[in-house]
Amino acid sequence: MAGLDPVSLTADLIRCRSVTPEDEGALSILHDLLKSAGFDCVWADRGGVKNLFARWGDKAHEKTFGFNGHTDVVPIGDADAWTKPPFGAQIEDGVLYGRGATDMKSGVAAFAAAAVDFVKDTPPDGAIILAITGDEEGDAQDGTKALLAHMEHASERMDVCLVGEPTCPDVMGDMMKIGRRGSMTAWIKIIGKQGHSAYPHRALNPIPAMMRLMDRLASHTLDQGTEHFDPSTLAVVTVDTGNPANNVIPADCRAAVNIRFNDCHTGASLSAWLEAELVKIETEFGVQSDIQIKISGESFITPPGPLSDLVAKAVEAETGIVPALSTTGGTSDARFVKHHCPVVEFGLVGRSMHQVDEHVRVDHIHQLKVIYTRVLKDYFA
């Protein structure tokens, strides 16, 4: 394929052991590549995390297209379970293997290659921004959020943004994301009174109270879904007393729940519901309680319109498939970008992301570059 090879670039990035929040040279590869192509590159590091901001074109331009992505990856897990070197970028039978092959070094390589070739071959009347972080797979507090803070301070602006996360469930082109569900976790502690299991009347067992609470939370229907979102879900992810003895009623019991919620709710409204349910349990069982809540992101949506149409038409032109507009899946950095400008996500088939022997088809990386190039051409046409 003519121009910058996104597969070779993906392989170079995979060889960097950039397990979040370490960079190990991944962003420097992109920095040098983009700088040599005429992009103005700025490091927007924060909290020990490396972040790269790159812009081609004058920031005074009225039309600015942005790409967002990350080069950090999750840990490899059991190294012995891998049949290919996790950071070897080995290609076999048209498939590239390695941690980050799908999520999402290939996506970053594809949009970087598309942007470099595009400004070289058909310099647009506008600007292109690439905002790439090394902190997406972790707490994500010093990654894209830091890039957006830098942009605000420097009076930089994206008019629209495409996040290169893997979005297709089964077939290249079958899905793009126009929003995401919110996500929150609650850690709950029920406090009773320790005692001998032969004399339960002298103790206050926190376990029945916790079981009642977990049953109520898990069996509660949060909603029926909305126009663009599936029904919200609550999952009990742990219940534990840390009690090794069979003749002791424990003093306390701990549990955690994770909620993925749609636009019927906010993190605040769900927090208030959890707290109210906990008060009921305290009253019914005479226990005390504590709750700690972390809201990872609110639900959001970029309503179908010019941006989603632009990307969908490019995907259909190159794959023959009209992508479904979805809000399914976990969280992504689009939840931060949505405060800045309209944002959608489109990328590769994500079936192997975070798995042992993570891999991607080589032809899909080339195809993704072509799709991103068409998006740029159509946007600046």
Q: What is the pLDDT of residues 275-307, one digit of tens each?
A: 999 999 999 999 999 999 999 999 999 999 999
> What would the pLDDT profile of 212-255 be if each residue is shown by its tens digit?
999 999 999 999 999 999 999 999 999 999 999 999 999 999 99
pLDDT of residue 329: 87
105-121 helix and 26-36 helix, angle to the nearest 10 degrees: 10
Average pLDDT estimate for 242-271 = 97
pLDDT given for residue 346 in this prediction:
98
d(CA 242, CA 218): 22
The CATH number linked to 187 is 3.30.70.360
Residue range of the domain that includes 366: 6-180+299-380
Which of 116, 122, 132, 89 has its CA nearest to residue 4?
116
What pLDDT is recorded for position 330?
Answer: 85
Structure token pair of residue 267: 């993190």
> Do 189 and 77 sit in the same domain of this protein?
no
Q: Is the pLDDT of residue 122 over 70?
A: yes
Per-residue confidence (pLDDT) for residue 379, from 0 to 100: 98
Give me the phi and psi of 21, to 5 degrees please.
Answer: -100, 20
Q: Are residues 246 and 287 in the same domain?
A: yes
Active site residues: 72, 136
Mean pLDDT (the chain) is 96
Q: What is the C-alpha separation between 270 and 259, in angstroms, rounded?
A: 9
Residue 144 to residue 165: CA distance in whole angstroms: 14
Residues 150 and 79 in one domain: yes
Boundary of a domain, candidates 239, 274, 297: 297
In total, the chain counts a number of residues equal to: 381
Q: Identify whether residues 160 and 304 lie together within a single domain.
A: yes
CATH number at residue 41: 3.40.630.10
pLDDT band at 35 (very low <50, low <70, confident <90, very high): very high
Q: What's the pLDDT band for 69 if we cut at 50, 70, 90? A: very high
User: What is the number of structural domains in the chain?
Assistant: 2
Q: Is residue 1 part of a domain?
A: no
What distances in angstroms separate CA 190 from CA 152, 184, 187, 252, 289, one per listed residue? 44, 20, 10, 6, 5
Spatial CA neighbour of 285 closest among 211, 227, 218, 375: 211
What's residue 263's pLDDT?
95
Mean pLDDT of 176-205: 97
My answer on whether 283 and 331 are in the same domain is no
User: Is the per-residue pLDDT at 71 higher than 90?
Assistant: yes
Same domain, 320 and 242: no
Of the listed ranges 60-64, 106-110, 319-323, the least confidently predicted one is 60-64
pLDDT of res. 3: 92
User: Is residue 191 domain-shared with residue 107, that is, in the same domain?
Assistant: no
Residues 338 and 369 in one domain: yes
pLDDT band at 326 (very low <50, low <70, confident <90, very high): very high
For 220, phi and psi rounded to 5 degrees?
Answer: -80, 130
Q: Residue 102 domain-assigned?
A: yes
Question: What is the per-residue burial (b if ≥16 Cβ within 10 Å, else e) of 183-200?
Answer: bbebebbbbbbebeeeee
Q: Could you tell me if 18 and 154 lie in one domain?
A: yes
| Residue 1 pLDDT greater than 70, yes or no | no
Contact (CB, 8 A) for 92 and 360: no
Do residues 369 and 233 both lie within one domain? no
| Residue 62: other Cβ atoms inside 10 A | 8
Query: Three-state SS for 183?
Result: strand
